[in-house]
Amino acid sequence: MPATPSSNPTTPAAFSAVAPYYDHLMSGVPYRFWIAYVERLWKKHSLAPKSVLDLACGTGTVTRMLAQRGYVTAGVDLSGPMIAIARERATEENFSIPFYEQDAADMDLGVSRFDAVISLFDSLNNILEDDRLQSAFRRMHDHLNPGGSFIFDVNTEFALEQGMFNQSCSRKDEPLHYRWRSRYNSETRICTVSMTFSYDSGTGERETFKETHIQKGYAKDEITRWLKEAGFATVTVYDGYSTDPPRKRSDRLFYVAVK
Ligand SMILES: C[S@@+](CC[C@H](N)C(=O)[O-])C[C@H]1O[C@@H](n2cnc3c(N)ncnc32)[C@H](O)[C@@H]1O
């Protein structure tokens, strides 16, 4: 899901209006499978992290699941409303997890260092400027222990071109309706998604809100180069949720960068 644009794409306005509905929207997302896949990648690369930073953690579902599995976790997200929900949920479920409202590109968690950073669900496509993405890679490298890993997934340019964000739901039994329409500019590699939501809290009256979200498509070679420039010793790229190499028509790629 892409971030809300603004004149400065890194303002904390991203994911504000949609935040209270985010977990409902994601109720079909196979987070457990995603975590199992990340653990498989760690194992494949002979990594056994004990502490994990969940970058662009949203409402913290993955952060809490990792804590449940015994990892020491923390979460970072640009959106104040998403972080507020992450904190609420963690308190409700008796987790003691620090959540920070910060931009990946400027992230500074003081002396905290982690064995691993992960960032799931194409969150990094929401960084729209090359230099900001490069800066995010440097910030993650700086927050890793020696030998630490950074695993993240991105939507490919191919995926954004395919109009994957053209989605809608208007089922009668569903309180949250939405209609998303996307446009992709192959020159700028920018995908703009106009989103309309309406929610019926049970009164029969629908409350409507809109967000325009934007993602940028990045090429495999440029991401790999920037990770290496940030100091990562090795970078391996996989076709999404597999251990196969990327294909021409891969819609999601996973990067494993090791410090
Ligand atoms: C699709 S959500 C994914 C959230 C979570 N990882 C998940 O899997 O549910 C994308 C998240 O990226 C966050 N985000 C976007 N740009 C960011 C940035 N520059 N720094 C940190 N977080 C960012 C948004 O606020 C949003 O919570």
Cβ(77) – ligand 1 distance below 6 Å = yes
Q: What mean pLDDT comes out for the span 194-215?
A: 87
Q: Are 129 and 24 found together in one domain?
A: yes
Rounded distance from Cα 58 to ligand 1 centre (Å):
5
Q: Determine if ligand 1 sits within 6 Å of the CB of residue 15.
A: yes
Residue 230 confidence (pLDDT) above 50: yes
Question: Is pLDDT of 5 > 60?
Answer: no
State the average pLDDT for the chain: 92
Distance from residue 171's CA to the centre of ligand 1 (Å): 27
Same domain, 133 and 245: yes
pLDDT, residue 163, reads 84
If asked whether residues 242 and 123 sit together in one domain, one would say yes
**Token pair 């039994």 is at which residue?**
173
The arithmetic mean of pLDDT across residues 182-201, rounded, is 92
Above 90 in pLDDT, residue 207?
no
For the whole model, what pTM was predicted? 0.94
Is 3 close to ligand 1, i.e. is its CB under 6 Å away?
yes
In this predicted model, which residue has the larger pLDDT, 135 or 18? 135
Indicate whether 144 belongs to any domain.
Answer: yes
Identify whether 235 is part of a domain. yes
Q: Which atom of ligand 1 lies at the shortest distance from residue 1's CA?
A: 1
Residue range of the domain that includes 141? 19-157+219-258
Amino acid identity of 199? Answer: Y
- Structural domains of the chain, count: 2
Other Cβ atoms closer than 10 A to 52: 26
Reported as a pLDDT band with limits 50, 70 and 90, residue 175 is: confident
Task: Give the model's pLDDT for residue 88.
Answer: 98
CATH of the domain at 149: 3.40.50.150
**34 or 193, greater pLDDT:** 34
- Looking at the structure, tell me whether residues 181 and 195 fall in a common domain: yes
In a domain, 74, yes or no: yes
Q: Is the CB of 57 under 6 A from ligand 1?
A: yes
- Residue range 232-257: average pLDDT? 98
C-beta of residue 252 within 8 angstroms of C-beta of residue 159? yes
**119 with 102, same domain?**
yes
Is residue 50 situated within a structural domain? yes
Q: Are strands 206-216 and 72-77 parallel, antiparallel or unpaired?
A: unpaired
- If pLDDT is split at 50, 70 and 90, which confidence band does 212 have? confident
The encoded tokens of residue 229 equal: 């420039």
What pLDDT, in 10s, does the model give residues 11-61?
335 588 889 999 998 999 999 999 999 999 999 999 999 999 999 999 999
Share of the chain above pLDDT 70, in %: 95
Q: 185: domain CATH number?
A: 2.20.25
Decide whether any atom of ligand 1 lies within 6 Å of the 78 Cβ.
yes
To the nearest 10°, the Cα dihedral for 151, 153, 156, 160? -160
Q: Using 50, 70 and 90 to split pLDDT, how confident is the model at 1?
A: low
